[in-house]
Structure 1
Amino acid sequence: MAHTGTRSKGLLRWALPLATVALSTPMPARSQETQVLPASEWQVYGTAYTRTRDADVPGEGTVRVEPRGTSGGEPWSSGAALSIPGALSAGERVSAVFWVCAERPTAVTIGMQGGAPGYARFAQAQVTLAPRWQQVTISGTAPSAFAAGTQSLSVPLGLAAGNVTLGPVAFQRGAPDRDGVTSAFAAFRPRSIAMDVTIPSEPGVTLAGTLHLPVGRPGPLPIAVLIQGHGRNGRGGFPEIVKRLAADGIATLEYDKRGIGQSTGEYREDIERLTADAAAAVAAMRRRPDLDGRRVALVGQSQGGVIAPAVAAADPAIAAVVTLAGSVGDGLPYLRQALRNQMVAAHRPAASIEPTVDAALALIQGRIDNRDAAAMAPLRATLVERLQASGFTRVESEAGLAMIDTEEVARAHRLRSASDLRALQVPVLAVFGTLDPLVVASQEAPAARTALAANPRARVVVFDGLSHWFQEGATTGTVEESAALGANLGSPRLVSLVGDWLRDALAPRGLEAPQ
């Protein structure tokens, strides 16, 4: 997926004809409320897309949606949707005006609808998209009350004849008001523009990323490269931090892991490959003239909090490092503690924890030593027995064996996160939460302070009441609970700390030659 946006040198052409489809009432003289959302808010499904930049639309951000490339099918097999902001009362009218153009004339049926399971549609209109930018308007009345986040503007594109490019959207409470829309778009100044980029990595892997560039700031800009945690993670894990850094003029890069989303390569939790990918992301950003290669920070959560110090330890030109729930340790002792913490988090009997961890470490050591199948069989059997003795079922125990008996886990003896932190002389911020069941703050924060003791620009912070995912409202800290607590890394306390700290660490006056 290449960045293919074009930037026109012409004036913004805001006075375009409106392709307006109002369902009933005539427009009033003035609407009650107008809110403009950037093109980056569009959620594309079912097909490939590219975030681009075009100076001919307000805010300059656009999303180009590619056709599926197949004949037949259904219009809703791919397309784009955007949440209508706020709640709607029964009988309340809402209007949406959005910028759109198409590679060739294309008829589409747009709508506004509620969420699952009924997807009750309360506005629908057919419009013809054209190569020239136009504003399309749709208006409707909610048949019943909709809670915030449960209704959306929908643009099905499964039958589109070519690329369709979407721009910003203005939502109005009440019927559409042309003057209000024109004024809102004219005043629209997003803090940043999202552009898709590609990052070459090794061996032969291309990572797909999104660069969030603050607007209205003199360049070249500082940048924070955001590194995700363990799992099949793509972009989107740092939404509140991205917004805060944009407000301070700091660009951010987030990218899909190899083999995930639109990145190529094979997905494997290979810490060395993932570290190489993060280093490749840094190198790609330094090649951009709009970014300041001397002011590159790394921000990593969980596994990313281990990768970030590793990249910085090998690259003294990194300006700052932030680790969020990043484990601190070296080799098998680090792995032993992590396994012990997981047993405690699973509420296993205290007397069963050490024997089970011993069995797991024996199996891992066997893999490291490349022992043959005959030697490994009893080690696997012992681990299953110990897991069962600790209260897991046979099925759960065998699943636990499958998770531990992997090359990925065996390679953990190469991790050197404590040593990497000790090697850093740049500003480092390490953050933990007291409710984290995976990276236990009472153990990890002291280890971080010890590793960073010789660095006068290091800071370790422990937040009371926050879990591994740093969301307000946590009581148990479990992953099940986190799903209902809002955005990942969304705690205002965390966002404020990271934002203030990076603003100061990446300020031009704070730059010093690498030690």
Structure 2
Amino acid sequence: MKATGLLPTLVLALELAAVTVLARWHAAPDLFLTPDFRERCMTKVKAAWSNGRARSLAIVAMVLLTACPTRAQTQDRTLGVSEWAIWGASYSRQRDTAVPGQGIVVLQPDPHATAAWSSGATMPVPDAIAAGEHVTAVFWARAARPLRLTIALQGGAPAYARFGTAELRLTTGWQPVSVRGTAPTAFAAKSQSLSVPLGDSGAVVELGPVAFLRGMPSKADVAHAFAAFRPSEVTTDERIASEPGVALAGTLHLPLGVGHAPYPLAIVIQGHGPNGRGGYTDIIRRLTAHGIAALEYDKRGVGQSTGIYKEDVERLTADARAAVATMRRNPAIDGRRIALVGHSQGGVIAPAVAAADPTIAAVVTLAGSVGDGLSYLRQAMLSQMRAAGRPEAEAVPAADAALALLQARVDRKDAATIAQRRAEVIARFEAAGFPRPLAEGALERIDTEEVWRADKLHSASDLRALQMPVLAVFAEKDPLVVASVEAADARKALAANPRGSVVVLDGLSHWFQEGAVTGGEEEVARLGPNAGSPRLVALVGDWLDRVLGEKPQVAATAPPR
């Protein structure tokens, strides 16, 4: 065999040796070979094996070849703009078809800021990082004027230790920018973040999606990561004008790659308390994945909404009506196909809005109470005490005492009468077996303006008035809205509606989470997301698919890039 026959195998062995030495000596075990390059190398090695004098080099090449991982063994992630966490700055989420995924976040400068770290944006690195591993974060960005920024890959408080930094030059045009770091030690998933400080920028900055890439990605790798990014939705921020001085901050989730505008819409109405956006993620994702848009909003006086927070159901109902009116003016929404999805208190508000607006396409109530006026509250208290095992002879007098107090408040009785009624409530609750501190706590929850106003609630009457499709869902372990009573009342209220249905889901609590044992509020934190039961999500999603129209076909072409 001629000596020249050794040359291709020798070159191959040297190439692979260089790759491996770099990977090991420079603590870069994530350095990779592309699958096609590996295949070409393997072909050369097999050919060299037939050459007796080149066989030893072929063995070396084979060992080195198997020592280097391929791209297929690495894990890259591209995250949408909803994953950006903003601090210290006003911002809005908007749509721009010039970036992958079409979603952007627009950050306004703080004219009084003097330090870069006073505001900015951060996004957690989604996966664990091995010691010595390279990670590159690539994201789309632009600014209202040319701008220099220092960005970092770093840990959290208190040290905020960096393992990668980069100096950026943003322009007025969209461009992918990047920062790369090498982990000095192993990091847990989401313990490190991409950080973009903007406090002293003095200009509007817009950010798009982020690709987290392992190893030493090429331009082709980056392009592939963003080309493969196919989010099911794009979010935009909405301002909903309600009463004078009240503007609600909302997020509109529009489907991407499925269906077409104008889209059917589900407006999510939250439960009792100072709640903002973000509590119904699983349901919203299910809807957008099937071509149904979704709107969620901060209650008045909560989050980015203006006004004063107050649990006044009449005012909250007016806010929900304003959300409907605003969405009907949005060209991306089909105003004839708007559904209301209300949870708990929202399950009372949704029928009230629809009863006054028969053009609402559908109503879903999740653990929504069914009843009219103060007598309904008495029945609800009785149901809760019975569910807690209180004897009838004790529960009835306690509920009657609470009703007498509320009626006195509605009738604007004098202070002496109110004091007497309050004392009677405590006495009756103590007689029912409640220790004094619990009896006093019950009184404070009952004797509030919000509860007094229950005389104006007519959820049973509202349900009876509805002629559009209605789905009323209850949870078997709900300690607040007792399914055994409320579901029966809902069936009575919907008896004349051929498109009304009532479902009780076994094993779920008021918050519709799987794994409930007692159904109490103390279980909520450990049972996963609110309204996250897959059974509930599928039930609501499938039902809305049917009543708002057939499932749209997935778009044949990718969204604009």
Matched ranges for 1:152-231 at <5 A? 152-216=193-257, 217-231=259-273
Question: 2:445 — aligned with what?
Answer: 403
Unmatched tracts of structure 2, length 5 or more: 1-25, 35-70, 552-561
Q: In 2 relative to 1, CA 402–120 (structure 1 residues): closer, same or farther, beyond 3 Å?
A: farther
Using structure 1 for the length normalisation, give the TM-score: 0.86
Matched ranges for 1:31-180 at <5 A? 31=71, 32-72=74-114, 74-114=115-155, 121-143=162-184, 145-180=186-221
Quick check: 1:341–1:437 contact (8 Å CA) kept in 2? no
- SS of residue in 2 equivalent to 1:489: coil
Question: 2:362 — aligned with what?
Answer: 320
Quick check: 1:34–1:181 contact (8 Å CA) kept in 2? no
Which of 312, 324, 335 pairs up with 1:270?
A: 312
Residue 366 of structure 1 and its aligned partner are, at CA, apart by: 0.9
Unmatched tracts of structure 1, length 5 or more: 1-22, 510-515
Residue 62 of structure 1 and its aligned partner are, at CA, apart by: 0.3
Q: Which amino acid letter does the alignment assign opposite residue 103 of structure 1?
A: A
Q: In 2 relative to 1, CA 348–54 (structure 1 residues): closer, same or farther, beyond 3 Å?
A: same
Quick check: 1:34–1:180 contact (8 Å CA) kept in 2? no
Which of 371, 374, 383 pairs up with 2:416?
A: 374
Q: In 2 relative to 1, CA 471–117 (structure 1 residues): closer, same or farther, beyond 3 Å?
A: farther
Question: 2:518 — aligned with what?
Answer: 476
Distance in 2 between residues matched to 1:363 and 1:282, nearest whole Å: 36
- SS of residue in 1 equivalent to 2:76: strand
Distance in 2 between residues matched to 1:172 and 1:467, nearest whole Å: 41
Q: In 2 relative to 1, CA 462–406 (structure 1 residues): closer, same or farther, beyond 3 Å?
A: same
Quick check: 1:93–1:141 contact (8 Å CA) kept in 2? yes
Residue 460 in 1 paired to residue 472 in 2? no
Answer with 107-116 or 281-290: which moved more: 107-116
Residue 413 in 1 paired to residue 459 in 2? no
Matched ranges for 1:348-359 at <5 A? 352-359=394-401
Deviation sequence 1:177-210 (CA, Å, 0-9, x none): 4311111212323222101111111244211111
Q: In 2 relative to 1, CA 141–468 (structure 1 residues): closer, same or farther, beyond 3 Å?
A: farther
Quick check: 1:139–1:176 contact (8 Å CA) kept in 2? no
Distance in 1 between residues matched to 2:426 and 2:167, nearest whole Å: 60
- SS of residue in 2 equivalent to 1:231: coil
Q: In 2 relative to 1, CA 382–211 (structure 1 residues): closer, same or farther, beyond 3 Å?
A: same
Answer with 365-374 or 173-182: which moved more: 173-182
Residue 341 of structure 1 and its aligned partner are, at CA, apart by: 4.9
Distance in 1 between residues matched to 2:343 and 2:509, nearest whole Å: 12
- SS of residue in 1 equivalent to 2:302: coil
Residue 121 of structure 1 and its aligned partner are, at CA, apart by: 4.5
Q: In 2 relative to 1, CA 340–42 (structure 1 residues): closer, same or farther, beyond 3 Å?
A: farther
Percent of aligned positions that are identical: 62
Q: Which amino acid letter does the alignment assign opposite residue 197 of structure 2?
A: P
Deviation sequence 1:334-375 (CA, Å, 0-9, x none): 212333455567787876544433332221111111001121
Q: Which amino acid letter does the alignment assign opposite residue 189 of structure 1?
A: R
Residue 142 of structure 1 and its aligned partner are, at CA, apart by: 4.3
Q: Which amino acid letter does the alignment assign opposite residue 260 of structure 1?
A: V
Question: 2:548 — aligned with what?
Answer: 506
Distance in 2 between residues matched to 1:84 and 1:377, nearest whole Å: 58
Q: Which amino acid letter does the alignment assign opposite residue 170 of structure 1?
A: A
Quick check: 2:277–2:298 contact (8 Å CA) kept in 1? yes
Task: Compute the RMSD of aligned alpha carbons.
Answer: 2.8
Q: In 2 relative to 1, CA 55–355 (structure 1 residues): closer, same or farther, beyond 3 Å?
A: same
- SS of residue in 2 equivalent to 1:483: helix
Q: In 2 relative to 1, CA 70–346 (structure 1 residues): closer, same or farther, beyond 3 Å?
A: farther
Q: In 2 relative to 1, CA 132–437 (structure 1 residues): closer, same or farther, beyond 3 Å?
A: same
Distance in 1 between residues matched to 2:537 and 2:129, nearest whole Å: 29
Residue 102 of structure 1 and its aligned partner are, at CA, apart by: 2.3
Quick check: 2:337–2:361 contact (8 Å CA) kept in 1? yes
Distance in 1 between residues matched to 2:381 and 2:418, nearest whole Å: 20
Distance in 2 between residues matched to 1:68 and 1:361, nearest whole Å: 52
Q: In 2 relative to 1, CA 385–238 (structure 1 residues): closer, same or farther, beyond 3 Å?
A: same
Distance in 2 between residues matched to 1:342 and 1:252, nearest whole Å: 33
Q: In 2 relative to 1, CA 128–399 (structure 1 residues): closer, same or farther, beyond 3 Å?
A: farther
Quick check: 1:312–1:318 contact (8 Å CA) kept in 2? yes
Answer with 347-356 or 256-265: which moved more: 347-356
Quick check: 1:90–1:145 contact (8 Å CA) kept in 2? yes
Q: Which amino acid letter does the alignment assign opposite residue 253 of structure 2?
A: H
Q: Which amino acid letter does the alignment assign opposite residue 240 of structure 2?
A: I
Structure with the largest fraction of helix: 2
Matched ranges for 1:230-241 at <5 A? 230-241=272-283
Distance in 1 between residues matched to 2:432 and 2:215, nearest whole Å: 61
Question: 2:475 — aligned with what?
Answer: 433
Q: Which amino acid letter does the alignment assign opposite residue 97 of structure 1?
A: V
Quick check: 1:323–1:431 contact (8 Å CA) kept in 2? yes
Residue 146 of structure 1 and its aligned partner are, at CA, apart by: 4.6
Distance in 2 between residues matched to 1:424 and 1:96, nearest whole Å: 52
Using structure 2 for the length normalisation, give the TM-score: 0.80
Answer with 107-116 or 49-58: which moved more: 107-116
Quick check: 1:238–1:488 contact (8 Å CA) kept in 2? yes
Quick check: 1:27–1:177 contact (8 Å CA) kept in 2? no
Residue 296 of structure 1 and its aligned partner are, at CA, apart by: 0.7
Q: In 2 relative to 1, CA 392–293 (structure 1 residues): closer, same or farther, beyond 3 Å?
A: same
Answer with 154-163 or 455-464: which moved more: 154-163
Matched ranges for 1:486-505 at <5 A? 486-505=528-547
Question: 1:5 — aligned with what?
Answer: none
Deviation sequence 1:109-162 (CA, Å, 0-9, x none): 433345567765444444344433232222334455555444433323333322
Distance in 2 between residues matched to 1:71 and 1:148, nearest whole Å: 32
Q: Which amino acid letter does the alignment assign opposite residue 160 of structure 1?
A: S
Q: Which amino acid letter does the alignment assign opposite residue 416 of structure 1?
A: H
Q: In 2 relative to 1, CA 119–322 (structure 1 residues): closer, same or farther, beyond 3 Å?
A: farther
Distance in 2 between residues matched to 1:347 and 1:108, nearest whole Å: 63
- SS of residue in 2 equivalent to 1:81: strand
Which of 312, 315, 329 pairs up with 1:287?
A: 329
Q: Which amino acid letter does the alignment assign opposite residue 450 of structure 1?
A: K
Distance in 2 between residues matched to 1:101 and 1:52, nearest whole Å: 14
Quick check: 2:372–2:460 contact (8 Å CA) kept in 1? yes
Q: In 2 relative to 1, CA 504–363 (structure 1 residues): closer, same or farther, beyond 3 Å?
A: same
Quick check: 2:298–2:304 contact (8 Å CA) kept in 1? yes
Distance in 2 between residues matched to 1:338 and 1:147, nearest whole Å: 47
Q: In 2 relative to 1, CA 148–471 (structure 1 residues): closer, same or farther, beyond 3 Å?
A: farther
Larger radius of gyration: 2
